[in-house]
């Protein structure tokens, strides 16, 4: 049958489903997905509509979203066999499925869309039947009715020349713009070598433990004072996190050893699964430079391992930097801009970043990209990637084909902060704790298959078919949507998450005030999640425990304890039972390890590749200060939750 060009602006009338077996994409079954969330394959295969309003629930792509992948290759009948792309289909073609009269059943006739997340309330017009989007509301925006282009793999990177016309881009495989602060080949090779040799060390944990144990044991008195019981509880409380973190260090070292043995001699792994990078952005002028840096890092580094990919920038209608974002998308055929209409509402009234994620989620369902061999990479608009990121993700995905029925559906890596992206050295040193937490505590939880500690909103890799069963419609009070997604995933897909050693590259807050505001929002959202009764107590128990440690940070701070002791005329800090002294020493040693190893990670991804001589001792000396500002942010977040202050999703400007 001759191929048929379809316009880049698709509607429910023109978008027809491709061939399916039994009404369900049976190619989704290599991992045990014979049915997804109750899909009635038999009814759909007979062409029986299972919901009278099903066509109304499809999310059309009007003029505010343009696609460089109008006819997805994975919709070609027979293109997938056993969940893998076949080489004979690589190249240029059009999908004939949409022109075949045999495929005229509504795309959303499956009963999976009886779920509340896809059904609009009866007393409100459907979200996708609002008045047409007025592109004039985006400053300087223009209609992107581009000619239909074939979906083609990336064969080689081509440098984007600012003097060339945008029309020339349509004839290229990919037009890549090299970011101004990107690394050259020599620097990238050195970075790859450093990262390949890295593994977390134990001596920064053992040495502080012995020092603290001897010091506290030497000065401890045999009898406790007025502060005995409070300190026994407060300073012993974090021991669970400490033990989990130490377990994570062992797990990380073991995973790195196994990965290096498995992939020895294979410097670059090419993965033929489709990678969809989703980047929600508030679209302000002060956040645009970081967005540009991040997006161009995706275009520069990911295609070498993912010849089938796309970057979706999700913005709000009328955002102030809309014109610049459209210009950014014009620099590469791999970038698509998706604009959320102002009047778009989710069934549960979700706001902020979760609303953007859910809009993108519904769009993927409509475009039939919710397959097992489609992976969604969630990234923040200030966080980029490097060559190691692409290689680590490609290897992880390829490993899942070898795992068979034990394959994982979600994974996360390490968030690091290069020195070059920091304008405030103090906040950069304070953020040393975050990459260390990733290789310790998050490695233990996420790497074991149950991410009860939550997730980051960046470098989050999720199988599209699995994300489609969860979504992001968590309600109007959700401001830590990544953590809530993790807890729901734990319940539905126990043991199916993983951790990988790839890194993403972010920027620390520019000021101490922004640092505290950032921590305030996180703690505010996590406290609300700990009291979210829609989740099981087992799911949120660990987050509740961790939040208590965070909120009590200022109270258990050594400066506060000594100040209270002076006021009470009793500065005896001995515990009620001397056997807890080793636990205190382990907690303090683990804190020192996090800042020491985190600084090593951040310096390792920086241009120089090593720490300056004064940074390690200064970081250790400043730990009490860092602990105080972390605790102040957590306490402020708890107080806002307790006062039932209206939720605010604070987006701080990040350096470029």
- Domain spans, the chain: 1-135
**Residue 377 reports pLDDT greater than 90:** yes
Q: Indicate the average pLDDT of the chain.
A: 76
The residues, any chain, with a CB within 8 Å of residue 95's CB and separated by 6 or more, are 3, 18, 71, 72, 73, 75, 76
Identify the band that residue 646 occupies on the pLDDT scale cut at 50, 70 and 90.
confident
pLDDT in tens, 304-357: 999 999 999 999 999 999 999 999 999 999 999 999 999 999 999 999 999 999
CB 58 within 8 A of CB 362: no
pLDDT of amino acid 115: 33
Six token digits for residue 190: 């050195």
What does the pLDDT look like over 91-123, one tens digit per residue? 222 232 223 333 223 333 333 333 333 333 333
Distance of CA 434 to the CA centre of its chain: 14
Residues 476-496: what's their mean pLDDT? 93
Q: How far is CA 380 from CA 9, 130, 374, 399, in A?
A: 27, 29, 20, 26
Q: Evaluate if residue 442 carries a pLDDT over 50.
A: yes
Residue 647 in this model has a pLDDT that exceeds 80: no
| Average pLDDT for 19-24 | 28
pLDDT at 75 over 80: no
Cα distance between residue 556 and residue 614, in whole Å? 28
pLDDT at 587 over 80: yes
User: Which of residues 170 and 614 earns the better pLDDT score?
Assistant: 614
pLDDT computed for residue 188 by the predictor: 60
Q: Which residue has the higher pLDDT, 78 or 524?
A: 524
- With beta carbons less than 8 A apart as the criterion, state whether 300 and 157 touch: yes
Cα-based distances in Å from 434 to 294, 416, 440, 543: 19, 8, 10, 17
Tell me the per-residue pLDDT of 132-152, one tens digit each, with 9 for 90 and over. Answer: 334 444 333 333 333 222 333
* Residue entry with tokens 């400490």: 242
Cα distance between residue 320 and residue 286, in whole Å: 10
Quote the percentage of the chain above a pLDDT of 90.
60
Contact 166, 572 (CB under 8 A): no
- Section 643-651 average pLDDT: 73
Q: Are strands 335-340 and 84-85 parallel, antiparallel or unpaired?
A: unpaired
Contact 565, 517 (CB under 8 A): no
Determine whether 380 is exposed, middle or buried from the number of CB atoms within 10 Å of its CB (0-12, 13-18, 19+): buried
- Give the residue-averaged pLDDT of 4-18: 29
Q: For 262-318, how does the pLDDT look when each residue is reduced to its tens digit (9 = 90+)? A: 888 777 889 999 999 999 999 999 999 999 999 999 999 999 999 999 999 999 999
With 80 as the cut, is the pLDDT of residue 522 above it? yes
Q: The pTM is what?
A: 0.75
> pLDDT at position 227, please?
92
DSSP 500-532: EEEEEE----SSHHHHHHHHHHHHHHHHHHHT-
3-state secondary structure of 448: coil
**Residue 189: predicted pLDDT:** 64
Mean per-residue pLDDT for 392-420?
94
Using CB atoms within 10 Å of the CB of residue 92, give its burial: 0 to 12 exposed, 13 to 18 middle, 19+ buried.
exposed
DSSP secondary structure letters along 389-423: HHHHHHHHHHHHHHHGGG--SEEEEEEE--GGG-S
CB neighbours of residue 217 within 10 Å = 13
Does residue 501 carry a pLDDT above 70?
yes
In the chain, what percentage of residues exceed pLDDT 70? 69
Distance between terminal CA atoms of the chain?
Answer: 51
CA distance 307 to 304: 7
Give me the pLDDT at residue 652, please. 66
The pLDDT assigned to 220 comes to 86
pLDDT of 413 above 60:
yes
pLDDT given at position 649: 63
**171-228 confidence digits (pLDDT tens):** 333 333 333 334 444 466 667 777 778 999 999 999 999 999 999 988 888 888 899 9
Residue 532 — pLDDT band, cuts 50, 70, 90? very high
């Amino acid at each position: 049958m001759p191929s048929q060009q379809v316009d880049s602006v698709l509607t429910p009338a023109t978008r027809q489903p491709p061939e399916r077996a039994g009404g369900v994409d049976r190619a989704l079954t290599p991992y045990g997905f014979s049915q997804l969330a109750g899909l009635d394959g038999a009814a759909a295969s007979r062409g029986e509509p299972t919901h009278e309003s099903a066509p109304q629930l499809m999310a059309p792509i009007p003029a505010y979203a343009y696609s460089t992948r109008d006819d997805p290759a994975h919709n070609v009948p027979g293109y997938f066999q056993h969940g893998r792309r076949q080489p004979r289909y690589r190249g240029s073609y059009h999908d004939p499925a949409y022109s075949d009269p045999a495929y005229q059943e509504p795309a959303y006739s499956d009963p999976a869309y009886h779920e509340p997340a896809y059904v609009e309330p009866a007393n409100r017009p459907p979200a996708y039947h609002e008045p047409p989007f007025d592109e004039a509301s985006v400053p300087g925006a223009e209609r992107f009715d581009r000619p239909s282009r074939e979906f083609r793999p990336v064969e080689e990177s081509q440098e984007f020349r600012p003097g060339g016309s945008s029309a020339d881009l349509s004839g290229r495989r990919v037009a890549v713009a090299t970011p101004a602060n990107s690394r050259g080949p020599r620097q990238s090779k050195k970075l790859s070598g450093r990262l390949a040799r890295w593994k977390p060390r134990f001596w920064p944990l053992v040495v502080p433990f012995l020092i603290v144990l001897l010091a506290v044991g030497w000065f401890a008195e045999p009898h406790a004072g007025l502060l005995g019981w409070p300190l026994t509880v407060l300073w012993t409380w974090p021991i669970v996190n400490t033990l989990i973190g130490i377990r994570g260090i062992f797990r990380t070292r073991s995973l790195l050893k196994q990965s290096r043995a498995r992939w020895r001699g294979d410097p670059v792994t090419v993965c033929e699964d489709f990678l969809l990078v989703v980047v929600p952005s508030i679209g302000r002028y002060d956040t645009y430079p970081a967005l540009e840096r991040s997006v161009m890092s995706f275009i520069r580094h990911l295609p070498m391992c993912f010849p089938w990919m796309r970057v979706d920038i999700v913005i709000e209608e009328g955002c102030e930097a809309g014109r610049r974002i459209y210009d950014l998308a014009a620099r590469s055929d791999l970038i698509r801009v998706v604009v959320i209409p102002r009047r778009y509402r989710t069934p549960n009234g979700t706001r902020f970043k979760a609303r953007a994620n859910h809009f993108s989620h519904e769009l993927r369902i409509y475009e039939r990209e919710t397959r097992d061999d489609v992976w969604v990479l969630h990234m923040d608009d200030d966080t980029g990637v490097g060559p190691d990121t692409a290689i680590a993700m490609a290897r992880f995905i390829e490993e899942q084909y070898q795992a068979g029925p034990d394959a994982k559906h979600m994974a996360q890596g390490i968030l690091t902060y290069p020195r070059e992206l920091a304008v405030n050295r103090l906040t950069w040193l304070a953020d040393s704790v975050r990459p260390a937490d990733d290789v310790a505590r998050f490695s233990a939880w996420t790497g074991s298959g149950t991410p009860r500690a939550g997730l980051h909103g960046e470098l989050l890799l999720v199988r599209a078919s699995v994300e489609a069963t969860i979504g992001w419609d968590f309600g109007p009070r959700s401001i830590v949507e990544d953590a809530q997604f993790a807890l729901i995933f734990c319940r539905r897909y126990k043991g199916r998450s993983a951790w990988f050693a790839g890194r993403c590259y972010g920027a620390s807050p520019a000021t101490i005030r922004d640092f505290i505001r950032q921590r305030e929002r996180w703690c505010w959202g996590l406290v609300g999640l700990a009291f979210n009764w829609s989740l099981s107590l087992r799911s949120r128990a660990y987050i509740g425990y961790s939040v208590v440690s965070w909120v009590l940070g200022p109270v258990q701070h050594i400066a506060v304890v000594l100040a209270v002791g002076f006021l009470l005329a009793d500065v005896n800090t001995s515990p009620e039972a001397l056997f807890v002294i080793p636990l205190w020493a382990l907690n303090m040693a683990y804190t020192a390890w996090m800042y020491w190893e985190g600084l090593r990670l951040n310096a390792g991804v920086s241009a120089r590749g090593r720490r300056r001589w004064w940074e390690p001792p200064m970081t250790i000396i400043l730990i009490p200060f860092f602990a105080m500002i972390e605790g102040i942010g957590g306490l402020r977040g708890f107080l806002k939750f307790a006062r039932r202050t209206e939720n605010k999703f604070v987006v701080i400007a990040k350096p470029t």
